[in-house]
Amino acid sequence: MGDPKRILFLTDTPGHTVGMDLPLLYPGQVTILDFTARTHTPDILSAYTHVVTLVQDGSHLPRLDFGAVEAYARAGGQVVSCLFEYARHRGFFFSKTYAGGSVLPAIRINAACDITRGFNVGDTIGWFGAISSAPDTLYENQRVQRQIMGLSAPEGVTVLASSTVNGGAVMIEERVGEGRILALDLLSLNRPHFNSHGSLNKYLFPGNFIGGSVRYGKHYPRKLSYGEFGEAMHALAAASPRLKVVNEGPCSDGRPLWSFEMGDPADPTLYFGAAVHGWEWENAYGLLTLAELLARDPLIESMETERLHFKIVPIQNPYGYDHFIQQNARGVDLNNNSSLNWGAFAPAQDVLLPWDYSFGGFGPASEAEIRIIERIIDTCAPRCVMDFHTATYILVLPHRYDAALFGAIHEEMKNRLRDRYFAQQPYNGPYEQVNMDRVLRLGESTDPPSLYPSFVFYAAEKGTPAAFAVEMSGNRDDVHALVMNTDTVVEICLAATRQCLLHRP
C-alpha cells in the first residue's frame, strides 16, 4: 500500500538480522550502508525517505555521524534509531536490564499516535531479547530489555512506551525540525519468530512509523472465554442497530453457537467463520474487529456494504476454543464432518477413535456445529464462504469455484497485505512478509477431483462461487500477535466484500 519507500540502513554490522529482515519487509526498497567504511553526510542521507540506524559494537559509536542523521531529520527526514546511539547522542542515561525466572519484560503503551496504532494507552505487550539470540521461549534466564532511565521528556520528546520492569523509556518519539526520530531497541530483540513473546511486534512499530503496517488491527488484552466472547458480541450489537447476534442453536457441548448478522438476507450473503479447529483461535478476534468496523461504518472505504448480507461466526467450535484443542466436545474434527462425501478422507490409524486428531465423526454431519453451518449455507446460498484456520499463510481451494471472482478476491487480498508485517511462519518456516500469495488447489490435486469432507467443499458443491479456507499464522499461547492477526483478517474480509460488491449478480 502507498508509495514505495527508500530506506537506508546505517549500521556497523551489515550482516545483522535487521539487515536481512528490512529487505524482506520492504523488497527492493532498502540500501545497506556500513557507516564505519563509508561517509554518510546529510546530502547522502537526503536521497532516502527513511534512515534506520543500528550500532552493534559500542566502540564504533564515534564513527556514526549522528549529527548528520539529526540534520537529515531536521530537514524533514524520518529516522528510526536504536536506543543506544540515540541515548548517547542526546546525553540520556542508557540502561540494560536482565530479567530471569517467570518475568517477561514488557512495554506499556503511554501515547496513542500513528506509531502505536493498534494499541490503546495502557496496553502492555512483551518486548525483550534473549540470551544468544535463541528463540525466547526456550530459555527463561537472561531476558534483556534496553531502556532510557530518568528521562524528563524535554521539548519535542514523547515517551510512547515504558518498561513494565523499571518504568524506563523504551520507545521514544522526538520531533526534530521538520522530521522525526523514533528511538527503540532493534538490537536485542530477536527475529520475530511466530510465537515470540519478546519480539513478535519488533517491526510493527517501525512499520507504523515508516507507514502502512496497522490499518484496522486491534490489540485485545487477553484471550476471552467463549462465554466472555459471546458477551462481547452482544455488547457490540447493543451499540449498533445494524448488528444482530443470533443464537444458531446448541453446540456439541450444549452452549449456543453465536453468529453476527448484518443486512438483508435477500441480498448476496458473505459467510465468514473461524476456529472450526478450536485451538486456531486468533482469527475469531479478526472477525470480531470486522463486525465492529462494519457496524460503525457501513460505508467503509466507500463500499456500500449495506447491499450485502453478512453472516459471521467468529467461533465455530466453542468447546475446542475454550480447551485449546482441535476437536469439538465429542472428540470430532469438524473439518472432516461435512455431509458431503463424509468418510472419504479418513486418516490412516490403527483404530479410528474419537479424539484422534482428525476423527471425522460418527456419520455425515453427525455434529451439531456442522449441521448448523450447513443449514446456514443451504438457507443463505452465500456468494462467498471464507473459513479461517491457522497453520501458515495459504489459501485452500475446493474442487469448484468461479475463477473470475476468486481471482479478483485473491488479487486484492495480496495487494492489501503487501509490505505490512514480518514474522516467521510456524513452526520452523521461513521469515517472510505476512502474505496470502500461495494457493493450494486441494480439490484439483487428484483426478477425478477430491471431495474433501469440509463445509467449504460442501458450500462449493452447493454453488457458492467463492468458497475457500484461509490459513493464517496462529495457535499461539497468548495475545501477542492479535494486532497483526486482526488487521490481516479484516483486510482479507474487506477484499472479499469489495469484490462481491463489484461482482454482484
Could you tell me the smallest distance in angstroms from the CB atom of residue 461 to Zn ion?
20
- C-alpha distances out from residue 134 to 36, 57, 138, 179, Å: 28, 20, 7, 36
Whole-angstrom distance, CA of residue 358 vs CA of residue 369: 16
Could you tell me the smallest distance in angstroms from the CB atom of residue 363 to Zn ion?
21
- H or E stretch including 96? strand 93-99
Q: Does 50 bind Zn ion (CB under 5 A)?
A: no
Complex with Zn ion: residue 248 or 471, whichever CB lies closer: 471
- H or E stretch including 139? none
Comparing CA positions, the residue from 159, 155, 359, 367 lying closest to residue 252 is: 367
Complex with Zn ion: residue 263 or 320, whichever CB lies closer: 320
Q: Does 277 bind Zn ion (CB under 5 A)?
A: yes
Whole-angstrom distance, CA of residue 28 vs CA of residue 22: 10
Complex with Zn ion: residue 293 or 313, whichever CB lies closer: 313
Comparing CA positions, the residue from 445, 412, 431, 441 lying closest to residue 473 is: 431
User: Which cell goes with 440?
Assistant: 493450494
Query: Which residue has the closest beta carbon to Zn ion?
Result: 389
Residues 382-401 that bind Zn ion (CB under 5 A): 389
CA angle 95, 119, 294 (to 5 degrees): 170
Could you tell me the smallest distance in angstroms from the CB atom of residue 394 to Zn ion?
11
Cell 526456550 appears where?
138
Which of the ranges 229-237, 274-282, 310-318, 429-437 carries the binding residues for Zn ion, by CB under 5 A? Answer: 274-282
Complex with Zn ion: residue 87 or 340, whichever CB lies closer: 340
Which of the ranges 45-53, 134-142, 246-254, 275-283 carries the binding residues for Zn ion, by CB under 5 A? Answer: 275-283
Complex with Zn ion: residue 280 or 292, whichever CB lies closer: 280
Complex with Zn ion: residue 162 or 336, whichever CB lies closer: 336
Q: Does 281 bind Zn ion (CB under 5 A)?
A: no
Could you tell me the smallest distance in angstroms from the CB atom of residue 445 to Zn ion?
18
Q: Give the 3-state secondary structure of residue 158.
A: strand
**β-strand pairing of 269-274 with 309-313:** parallel
Residues 174-193 that bind Zn ion (CB under 5 A): none
Residues 231-260 that bind Zn ion (CB under 5 A): none
Whole-angstrom distance, CA of residue 488 vs CA of residue 283: 9
> Rounded to a whole number, what is the largest CA-CA distance in the chain?
72
Three-state SS annotation for 361-378 = CCCCCCCHHHHHHHHHHH
Whole-angstrom distance, CA of residue 167 vs CA of residue 156: 20
Helices 403-417/482-502 angle, 10° precision: 140
Complex with Zn ion: residue 395 or 500, whichever CB lies closer: 395
Could you tell me the smallest distance in angstroms from the CB atom of residue 169 to Zn ion?
41
Complex with Zn ion: residue 193 or 277, whichever CB lies closer: 277
Could you tell me the smallest distance in angstroms from the CB atom of residue 387 to Zn ion?
8
Is it true that the peptide bond before 431 is cis, omega within 30 degrees of 0? no
Which of the ranges 22-30, 276-284, 363-371, 373-381 carries the binding residues for Zn ion, by CB under 5 A? Answer: 276-284
Whole-angstrom distance, CA of residue 308 vs CA of residue 501: 8
Could you tell me the smallest distance in angstroms from the CB atom of residue 392 to Zn ion?
11
Could you tell me the smallest distance in angstroms from the CB atom of residue 277 to Zn ion?
4
Could you tell me the smallest distance in angstroms from the CB atom of residue 391 to Zn ion?
6
Could you tell me the smallest distance in angstroms from the CB atom of residue 280 to Zn ion?
5
Three-state SS annotation for 13-69 = CCCCHHHHHHHHHCCCCEEEEECCCCCCCHHHHCCCCEEEEECCCHHHHHHCCHHHH
Residues 305-324 that bind Zn ion (CB under 5 A): none
**β-strand pairing of 78-82 with 179-184:** parallel
Residue 178 gets which letter from DSSP? T
Which of the ranges 77-85, 144-152, 229-237, 381-389 carries the binding residues for Zn ion, by CB under 5 A? Answer: 381-389
Complex with Zn ion: residue 182 or 456, whichever CB lies closer: 456
Could you tell me the smallest distance in angstroms from the CB atom of residue 489 to Zn ion?
14
Which of the ranges 273-281, 400-408, 410-418, 451-459 carries the binding residues for Zn ion, by CB under 5 A? Answer: 273-281
Complex with Zn ion: residue 85 or 282, whichever CB lies closer: 282
Could you tell me the smallest distance in angstroms from the CB atom of residue 335 to Zn ion?
6
Complex with Zn ion: residue 277 or 399, whichever CB lies closer: 277
Complex with Zn ion: residue 93 or 355, whichever CB lies closer: 355
Q: How many residues bind Zn ion (CB under 5 A)?
A: 3
Q: Which chain residues interact with Zn ion by CB under 5 A?
A: 277, 280, 389
